[in-house]
Structure 1
Amino acid sequence: MSAQYDQLGEKLTNWDVLPVRSEYLEGHTFFKALGSVKGRTVLDLACGDGLYTRQLKARGASRVVGVDISEEMIRSARRHEEEQPLGIEYHVSDVADMAPLGTFDCVTAVYLLHYAQSPEHLLRMCRNIHAHLKPGGSFVTYAFNPGFSARGPNSTRYGITMLDFPESPRDGQAISAELHTKSPFTIHFSYWSQGTHERTLREAGFHTLTWMRPECSPEGVVRAGREFWQDYLDNPHAVALRCER
């Protein structure tokens, strides 16, 4: 999975402006699931160029560490850090093979688990995430929605189109999505059912798993109107998941 993000490079720099990735939808839902990070330590996995990593620090986290499998994404994140130092550390690693970085109050990941290449890879990811949490800590991720329906709304107006999504996807099945930025690009990942997510996370040691469908913030409703967001909210491509250690 590192290769696709290394190759995408600059195309990823403006995908946070898409409606589906906006602060009104993705950001609002993710931070609502996470709660306050003021004074807490956070490990941000699949951090990309540090979009959410920097926001975690800005929200008062005492220590923030970002990890991504893509060297290109980490180079971009480090450039941001050099230009505007926040005291964030960045590392290149596959989460499944990540060396110990300490223990944290929270581990976060916006788009990670669906990049697991096999059930074993997924379990190794989850075990390593668990190992990096303090007792009582939380893992909060924003992940591909196992309940996404091929028959539901799938409009390009939100900035994403699932390509040839099967009506009954199988665990491990290859999935593709097109992102409609100024320079459109396609990402590839694997489908994992809700049951597989939950069994794997519990086997890794997590409990009290809470799924949260995306919500639009009041600001987003004012900006675009509730009707604009409704099709996406009825069939979101991603959902939040909070797991307690």
Structure 2
Amino acid sequence: MNILDKFHHWRRRRRWNKQYRSGRWQNLKSDLEASRYFKIKEDLLAFAPKKPNILDIGCGDGVLNERLGDFPFSYFLGVDFSSESIKQAQDKNLPNSEFEHCDVLHFVPKRTFDAIIFNESFYYIPDTEKSRVLQHLLDNLSEDGVLIVSIFRDGPGCWEFFKENKNLKEVDFETIKTSKEMTYWKIGAYTKVSE
């Protein structure tokens, strides 16, 4: 990662800690966001093994975990580089769940996962690191697991890493629209290509 990327990464982490302390990210719990989380849950039901181990990259304060409601999972690990968001997630004491303050650039999974979710986080990874991070996480995705990617609006410079990856097969892709014209998400689900 070059020096400019390091600076922007450091600055973003400081800004997000401040914003989580002030409550700026409470909007993730709004009705406007509900359809995005519903689609992620729908893809988990359709493509993940039963009672999956879930890895949520960019988990914030655990909103996806809470939005899963009665969805049966064995284990949930949320990772975020905002220490403040992780503290808030840990304070919720959600069942079968852990939250780890870690930058995905340096994250080393201690297990394989049946579902890995880039939860509005892939576009924050510096371009020079995207391929490496994606491959590192795919190495920790179970053979029958699913990778789910949620990206706000069009996510320029992101989708090609999934759509052109010879190790992935796209099993679902949908644009989730809302009542606000410029508020929409694209969500893709991918499985590993059998060798």
Alignment of 1:35-114 (within 5 A): 35=45, 38-56=50-68, 58-81=70-93, 85-114=94-123
Alignment of 1:81-230 (within 5 A): 81=93, 85-118=94-127, 120-146=128-154, 191-192=156-157, 194-199=159-164, 202=165, 205-208=167-170, 210-214=172-176, 229=179
Q: Deviation per CA, 1:162-194, whole angstroms, max 9, x where unpaired?
A: xxxxxxxxxxxxxxxxxxxxxxxxxxxxx4254
Residues 17 and 86 of structure 1: is their aligned pair in 2 closer, same or farther, counting only changes over 3 Å? closer
Q: What secondary structure does 1:86 align onto? A: coil
Aligned residue type for 2:190: C
Aligned residue type for 1:111: E
Aligned residue type for 1:6: N
Counterpart residue number, 1:151: none
Q: Relative contact order: is structure 1 or structure 2 higher (C-alpha 8 Å, sep ≥ 6)?
A: 1
Q: Deviation per CA, 1:78-127, whole angstroms, max 9, x where unpaired?
A: 1111xxx4131111122232112200111123201111222x21112211
What's the offset of the Cα at 1:214? 1.1
**Distance in 2 between the 1:112 and 1:56 partners?**
19
**Distance in 1 between the 2:162 and 2:65 partners?**
24
TM-score normalised to structure 2 length: 0.78
User: Contact 2:176 / 2:184 at 8 angstroms: preserved in 1?
Assistant: no
TM-score normalised to structure 1 length: 0.64
User: Contact 1:146 / 1:192 at 8 angstroms: preserved in 2?
Assistant: no
Residues 196 and 206 of structure 1: is their aligned pair in 2 closer, same or farther, counting only changes over 3 Å? closer
Counterpart residue number, 1:3: 14
User: Contact 1:113 / 1:143 at 8 angstroms: preserved in 2?
Assistant: yes
User: Contact 1:112 / 1:143 at 8 angstroms: preserved in 2?
Assistant: yes
Matched, 1:28 2:59: no
Counterpart residue number, 1:174: none
**Distance in 2 between the 1:63 and 1:19 partners?**
26
Aligned residue type for 1:53: N
**Distance in 1 between the 2:17 and 2:134 partners?**
24
**Distance in 2 between the 1:123 and 1:144 partners?**
20
Could you tell me the percent identity over the aligned residues? Answer: 17
Structure 2 residues without counterparts, runs of 5 or longer: 1-11
Structure 1 residues without counterparts, runs of 5 or longer: 148-190, 217-228
Q: What secondary structure does 1:74 align onto? A: helix
Name the Cα RMSD after superposition. Answer: 2.5
**Distance in 2 between the 1:96 and 1:131 partners?**
15
Q: Which has the greater radius of gyration? A: 1
**Distance in 2 between the 1:193 and 1:105 partners?**
22
